[in-house]
Amino acid sequence: MPDLLLELRSEEIPARMQRKAAGDLKKMLTDGLVEAGLTYEAAREYWTPRRLTLDIRGLTARSKDVHEEIKGPSTKAPEQAIQGFLRKAGLASVADAHVHADPKKGDFYVAHISKPGRAAEEVIAELVPAIIRGFPWPKSMRWGPASAKPGALRWVRPLQSIVCTFGPETEEPVVVDFEIDGIRSGNVTYGHRFHAPGAITVKRFDDYAAKLEAAKVVIDAERRKEIILADARNLAFANGLDLVEDEGLLEEVSGLVEWPVVLIGEFEQAFLAIPPEVIRLTIRANQKCFVTRPQGEVENLSNRFTLTANIEAKDGGAEIAHGNGKVVRARLSDALYFWNTDQGDLPDLGALESSAAKFSLDLSKPLDQRMARLDHLDVTFHAKLGTQGERVERIRKLASELAPVVGANPTLAERAAVLAKADLQTEVVGEFPELQGVMGRKYALLQGENSSVAAAIEEHYKPQGPSDRVPTDPVSVSVALADKLDTLVGFWAIDEKPTGSKDPYALRRAALGVIRIILENRIRLPLDNWLRAALRSAEHVEITGKSAFLRNAIRRFLGTLISEERLDGAVEDVVSKIDQIAMDDDELDSLKNFVSEQFREFAGDRLKVMLKDSGARYDLIDAVFALRENDDLYEITNRVEALGKLLETEDGKNLLAGTKRAANILAAEEKKGTAVAAAVDPALFREEAEKKLFGAIGQAEAQAGEAIGREDFSGAMVALSTLREPVDTFFDKVLVNDEDAAVRANRLALLSRIRTATDRVADFSKIAG
């Protein structure tokens, strides 16, 4: 079977785009080949800074001939229908169609279409130029004299050559010939820009890869990563150091070089006074280098770093390492200045006194000064949600209320909340925003804050993703929950909820953060109470967004009418005055209920996803969530777990079957209007099985109720499982639809008791099986 080799060589492609671009090329080409009727055995993409390469093995040499029949209208159909059929089938006249007979429907037209197969070279020559012209680069450019012409070729960087060969291993491959904007495909590529810039003639992929390797180009990105990592580790070890590994940086660096050569550089020991996080980010962001630490150390760094060059220098890389060291020293000098400046006094302390008084700040402390300035400058958090200072005040109130619930000291929680955003005004965070929280913790410890307060300043942002750890210190937990609840409630109140794939304010992440904090710390936190507490702490948000839902609905409605020209543009004056609409207290309460209900549903959906990802059955999650009065996330999780364990047992499976049978009978009779007694009357029992079931239900309800009161949901499930035998016996021995209406109504009431008993833990009707 023939193989296809495709290389698109250009100027340097940005490292962040390479992996996706190679994947896009593979998908677009293989999809196009399959759509054209060709098949292949395997395909793999490769990339370097200067080339995207595709190796497709076992590609069929020719697509199959296609024969199909297109059924048309009756021979007696109107001329318009017949002409439509001819256009669809691609026939010139009705004489080209065949007539088939149908005993019931009569004669009708059929088009017999035959499409001969196409040679793979023909398909490829047509497909590749179309892919190049339509390639989905995030950013692209035009170049050269042709760039001024309409429809000029666009590529991420100037495209220089195309290799496209096709053929079986046993024969000399052919060049698939095509041209795009003056670039003609061929079998010639070029090696390393400096070490081997000459032309290289290639045949198929194995030959191509071997010749490029000899020309100082490692085509496989994963292999380049392995080389960089192994050489950096070995070089660090040889100097008595450990490499501080960074997968993201490794991916980026492997996209900057075609022939990786790892070197080691250094900077002055004095710069080690800067926090390790700042040193690491400075060197990573500016020079794409890995830092090292003394062997056996965990926190401290060394003054050596590894860098990856793209050439084998004649001096062994000494000058390259020296040049990188000069740049690193300059960047670290800036970082040291930022670090020292942040520990000094601000020049405008007199203007900050009112803000200091508002938050009980001590202006002799640098971090307090930064918080006072954050408030004084009225830095906007969101146009409809006020300033950062107002947000900090909301978080402080909510953290203070949450503190007793999570076992935190309210005073410490308030202090941590007040300082949580202060480092946004520091020089280091201004330069490296990703260090917010981290630097706040360091500055807090330097000015003698309680260790829990300092930890909360960093940890209140956590978790920032599914793999990030959750804060466990009670002070950190209270501030993290307050911060996230304020964000969620605020954006809900102004009608800025996530929509589809859009979530510009990361509200899904914030909701998952709340859920993980609650579950992993085993916190009992009914959501509705705390959503309302968050709304209470944000009175001005209620004013700003109190009628957001109503106003936005009116805007959308009127906007639609205007766009459809059912109303003239003068109505826009009405739209502009909507913000003047006032809402009374009842309407505000209604809005508050709406916000709470909307967010509870959103948080519930996030919890469902999390439980499903952890292995819980979706029907069990729905069964527990059907108990709408419950919004205690930790309790919901425990119920789902206990219900799952019950249904793994035979008693549980049989109880589910009996309960669903009872529910189905009840639903059918209620639909028919059959009377169901308001309460079970033991005097109407005629069978021993009725008496036993009645007694078992009473006992199970009592035991399950006691267990639920103790929040022992496993115990509640065990209590319910005792109903299995009496329920089975009841259905075996008792006819529910007795001729006596009173007996029938009483037996239906008994079935209703089964449903009521099981509904105390979950809605069994939602469970599959």
Looking at the DSSP bridge assignments, the partners of residue 110 are 71, 98
Q: Among the listed ranges 129-143, 189-203, 535-549, 691-705, which one has the minimum average pLDDT value?
A: 535-549
Tokens standing for residue 564: 């459809």
Dist CA 142 CA 161 (whole Å): 15
Of 440, 407, 389, 409, nearest in space to 521 by CA: 407
Dist CA 349 CA 206 (whole Å): 70
Q: Is 50 exceeded by the pLDDT of residue 546?
A: no
Dist CA 551 CA 538 (whole Å): 20
Q: What are the CA-CA distances from residue 104 to residues 58, 76, 164 (Å)? A: 49, 14, 56
Question: What three-state secondary structure class fits 266?
Answer: strand
Distance of alpha carbon 355 from the chain centroid: 38
Q: What are the CA-CA distances from residue 345 to residues 341, 368, 439, 571 (Å)? A: 8, 10, 17, 55
Q: What is the pLDDT of residue 630?
A: 61
Q: What is the pLDDT of residue 594?
A: 62
Q: What is the dihedral of CA 731, 734, 740, 744, to 10 degrees?
A: -30
**What's the mean pLDDT when you consider all of the chain?**
87
Q: Is 50 exceeded by the pLDDT of residue 162?
A: yes
| Mode of pairing for the β-strands spanning 261-266 and 199-201 | unpaired
- Quickly list H helices, 36-119: 79-89
Number of H helices, E strands in the chain: 29, 18
Give 170's pLDDT tier (boundaries 50, 70, 90): confident
Q: Is 90 exceeded by the pLDDT of residue 663?
A: no
Dist CA 739 CA 516 (whole Å): 56
Looking at the DSSP bridge assignments, the partners of residue 291 are 305
Q: Would you give the DSSP letter of residue 344? A: S
Q: Calculate what percentage of the chain has a pLDDT beyond 90.
A: 54
List CB contacts of 587: < 8 A, sequence separation 6 or more: 546, 547
Q: What is the pLDDT of residue 415?
A: 97
Question: What three-state secondary structure class fits 648?
Answer: coil
* Backbone phi and psi for residue 387, each to the nearest 5 degrees, phi listed first: -90, 170
Q: Is 80 exceeded by the pLDDT of residue 348?
A: yes
Q: What is the pLDDT of residue 545?
A: 41
Dist CA 664 CA 671 (whole Å): 10
List CB contacts of 767: < 8 A, sequence separation 6 or more: 619, 620, 623, 647, 656, 660
Interval 738-769: pLDDT, tens: 888 898 898 889 888 888 888 877 888 888 86
Q: Is 60 exceeded by the pLDDT of residue 542?
A: no
Q: What's the order of all strands across the beta sheet hosting 261-266?
A: 241-243, 290-294, 304-309, 261-266
Tokens standing for residue 529: 């109470």
- Select the more confidently predicted residue: 244 or 547: 244
Interval 613-659: pLDDT, tens: 888 887 888 888 777 566 678 888 888 888 888 888 888 887 788 78
Of 281, 279, 339, 338, nearest in space to 304 by CA: 279
Q: Is 90 exceeded by the pLDDT of residue 327?
A: yes
Please say whether the beta carbons of 188 and 202 come within 8 A. yes
Interval 8-58: pLDDT, tens: 999 999 999 999 999 999 999 999 999 999 999 999 999 999 999 999 999
What type of residue is 12? E
User: H/E element holding 133?
Assistant: helix 120-133
What type of residue is 235? L
Q: What is the pLDDT of residue 323?
A: 96
Dist CA 449 CA 611 (whole Å): 38
Scored b (16 or more CB within 10 A) or e, 731-751 reads beebebebeeeebbbbbbbbb
Q: Is 80 exceeded by the pLDDT of residue 570?
A: no
Distance of alpha carbon 721 from the chain centroid: 40
Q: What is the pLDDT of residue 769?
A: 67
Q: How many CB atoms lie within 10 A of CB 140?
A: 12
Q: Is 90 exceeded by the pLDDT of residue 420?
A: yes
Interval 516-535: pLDDT, tens: 998 899 888 776 666 666 66
Give 548's pLDDT tier (boundaries 50, 70, 90): very low
Q: What is the pLDDT of residue 92?
A: 85
CA angle 660, 661, 666 (to 5 degrees): 95
Q: What is the pLDDT of residue 667?
A: 83
Of 637, 615, 624, nearest in space to 525 by CA: 637
Dist CA 713 CA 643 (whole Å): 8
Looking at the DSSP bridge assignments, the partners of residue 52 are 8, 47
- Select the more confidently predicted residue: 583 or 445: 445
Q: What is the pLDDT of residue 139?
A: 94
- Quickly list H helices, 564-649: 571-576, 585-613, 618-625, 633-647
Of 127, 129, 156, nearest in space to 21 by CA: 156
Distance of alpha carbon 731 from the chain centroid: 49
Q: Among the listed ranges 143-147, 378-382, 605-609, 705-709, which one has the minimum average pLDDT value?
A: 605-609
Of 545, 526, 546, nearest in space to 590 by CA: 546
Length of the chain: 769
Tokens standing for residue 97: 């169609």
- Quickly list H helices, 546-584: 548-563, 571-576
Residue for token pair 């030959």: 207
Dist CA 733 CA 167 (whole Å): 77
Instruction: Read off the pLDDT of each residue in 711-728 and give the average, rounded to a whole number.
Output: 85
